[in-house]
């Protein structure tokens, strides 16, 4: 049996711990969230800065591979009311703080952030920045749809301090594009990349997805070669997460038989990875590559790389505020998620109430496990030598890892674990051995995508 077949099981992507299905929602309250929010801000006396994620959920059409929370509409009169609500929510958070916040990271995600007109994005961001200071070295980034990101979008966001942009490419093969309802010519991506570079964006990323319906190595190689010809600073090479059972996910636009099997899917990644490495990119964390000159790779060398609901970043803050429908906030001690519908989110904000509908308060064990999983997903190693990293379950965790050790995926000594190059593919599986909430309450139904 191949390692791919052996370890290709449903598992979390670990953008958080505990993962959302294992949050203790029953004992969570908004008041508890506010308490941890304030505590997290006070921990650093506001000096570390905060991160803000703004969820802009609108898209003009449905991409059938997408598992994000979104609202499909061609009506652009939704923009200003939604922005009004975002600004009210932000004001509520600022009023909870004793000092003026300093923004270190800000990310616009979606949905399609560039669905919004440039002047409306300007109004939103000026409103956010008016209530805060900006870090000396801010990390401002946004997700841009190549088909509708205009020069005006790029200029507007650049003028507000944005220096990173991520363009969703996915795949250039026309058959694949038609199947996932994402028609996007290479020329559009080429032009928008050139425009961003000409304006001075310091880091341009392209997102590719492997495992999509009808993908072959020939088409994948063509996509990667076209991508590399544009020399993006970063490439996110994501595994397609097939989760059609999740409510609201539009992944039924094709037949299951159109998807590559596990072995073929992994070959797409391994062949693509080798092509990227041969052409000068460096593998970072899981499913990410960068040029050696990019800040993300430098953060790997410095061991400052971080992973959260926004993915990998080259810096981190203890406090991350998620604004907008379905956005998740993280105080390190707790998670809180906003209402998933635009209507409910808007209604609660207009009542002057934080629109949090569920969350989780981390206990002492959660905090230690979280550190171990972050270490594995970011640095491919972890240690329990320090007392603060010890768990009574370490012997059981090591027992669960024995087979992976025998398969050459990890190396373990007395108090340290290192993921080998061979094991990098199976980082999620390795992290699962530390996931005590998953171990204690194995899901009875399918809730995660496949790990490989």
Q: Cα–Cα distance between 223 and 276 in angstroms, integer?
A: 12
Query: Assign residue 138 a region: left if phi > 0, alpha if psi is -120 to 50, beta otherwise?
Result: beta
pTM above 0.75, yes or no: yes
pLDDT of residue 244: 55
Q: Which two tokens mark 48?
A: 């570390």
- CB 17, CB 435: distance < 8 Å: yes
CATH architecture of 364-440: Orthogonal Bundle (1.10)
- CB 431, CB 382: distance < 8 Å: no
Task: Find all residues with CB under 8 Å of 440, minimum gap 6, and list them.
Answer: none
- DSSP letter string over 344-412? HHHHHHHTT---EEEEEE--HHHHHHHHHHHHHHHHSEEE--SGGG--TTHHHHHHHHHHHHHTTSEEE
Task: Give per-residue pLDDT as tens, 227-286.
Answer: 999 999 999 998 887 555 455 445 455 667 788 888 888 889 889 999 999 999 999 988
Whether residue 125 has a cis bond before it, omega within 30° of 0: no
3-class state of residue 205 by DSSP: strand
Q: Cα–Cα distance between 392 and 172 in angstroms, integer?
A: 50
Q: Cα–Cα distance between 362 and 359 in angstroms, integer?
A: 10
Q: 12-361, what's its fold?
A: pyruvate-formate lyase- activating enzyme (3.80.30)
Q: Which two tokens mark 39?
A: 């505590």
Domain boundaries, given as residue ranges, for the chain: 12-361, 364-440
Which regions in the chain score pLDDT beneath 70?
A: 1, 45-46, 65, 67, 242-255, 443-447, 449, 452
Least Cα distance to 235 among 211, 207, 212 occurs for 207
pLDDT of residue 245: 42
pLDDT of residue 262: 80
Instruction: Please determine whether the domains at 12-361 and 364-440 fall in the same fold group of CATH.
Output: no
Q: Which two tokens mark 92?
A: 């509520």
Cα dihedral 427, 430, 436, 442, rounded to 10, equals 90
CB-neighbour burial class of residue 245 (10 A; exposed 0-12, middle 13-18, buried 19+): exposed
DSSP state of 450: B
- CB 9, CB 438: distance < 8 Å: no
Least Cα distance to 142 among 57, 54, 274, 260 occurs for 54
3-class state of residue 300 by DSSP: helix
- CB 61, CB 181: distance < 8 Å: yes
């Amino acid at each position: 049996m191949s390692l791919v077949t052996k370890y290709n099981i449903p598992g979390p992507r670990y953008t958080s711990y505990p993962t959302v299905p294992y949050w203790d929602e029953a004992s969570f309250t908004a008041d508890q969230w506010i308490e941890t929010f304030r505590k997290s801000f006070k921990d650093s006396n506001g000096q570390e800065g905060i991160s803000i994620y703004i969820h802009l959920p609108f898209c003009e059409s449905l991409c059938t591979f997408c598992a994000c929370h979104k609202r499909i509409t061609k009506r652009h009169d939704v923009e200003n009311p939604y922005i009004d609500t975002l600004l009210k929510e932000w004001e509520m958070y600022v009023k909870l703080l004793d000092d003026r916040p300093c923004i270190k990271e800000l990310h616009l995600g979606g949905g399609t952030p560039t669905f919004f007109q440039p002047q409306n994005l300007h109004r939103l961001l000026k409103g956010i920045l008016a209530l805060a200071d900006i870090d000396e070295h801010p990390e401002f980034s946004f997700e841009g749809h190549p088909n509708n990101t205009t020069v005006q979008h790029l200029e507007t966001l650049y003028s507000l301090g944005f220096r990173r942009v991520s363009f969703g490419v996915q795949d250039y093969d026309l058959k694949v594009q038609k199947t996932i309802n994402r028609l996007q010519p290479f020329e559009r991506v080429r032009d928008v990349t050139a425009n961003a570079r000409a304006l001075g964006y310091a880091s341009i990323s392209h997102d590719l997805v492997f495992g999509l319906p009808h993908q072959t190595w020939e088409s994948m190689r063509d996509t990667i070669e076209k991508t590399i010809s544009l020399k993006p600073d970063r490439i996110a090479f994501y595994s397609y997460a097939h989760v059609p059972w999740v409510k609201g996910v539009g992944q039924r636009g094709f037949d299951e038989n159109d998807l590559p099997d596990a072995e073929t899917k992994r070959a797409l990644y391994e062949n693509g990875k080798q092509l990227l490495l041969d052409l000068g990119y460096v593998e970072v964390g899981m499913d990410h590559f960068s040029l050696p000159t990019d800040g993300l790779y430098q953060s790997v060398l410095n061991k400052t790389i971080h992973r959260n609901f926004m993915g990998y970043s080259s810096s981190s803050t203890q406090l991350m505020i998620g604004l907008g429908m379905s956005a998740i906030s993280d105080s390190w001690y707790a998670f809180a998620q906003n209402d998933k519908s635009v209507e409910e989110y808007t209604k609660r904000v207009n009542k002057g109430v934080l629109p949090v509908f569920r969350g989780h308060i981390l206990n002492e064990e959660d905090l230690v496990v979280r550190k171990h999983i972050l270490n594995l997903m970011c640095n491919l190693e972890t240690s329990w030598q320090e007392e603060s990293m010890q768990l009574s379950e370490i012997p059981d965790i090591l027992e669960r890892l024995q087979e992976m050790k025998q398969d050459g995926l990890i190396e373990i000594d007395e108090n340290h674990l290192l993921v080998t190059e061979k094991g990098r593919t199976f980082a999620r599986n390795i992290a699962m051995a530390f996931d005590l909430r998953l171990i204690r309450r194995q899901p009875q139904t399918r809730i995660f995508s496949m790990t490989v």
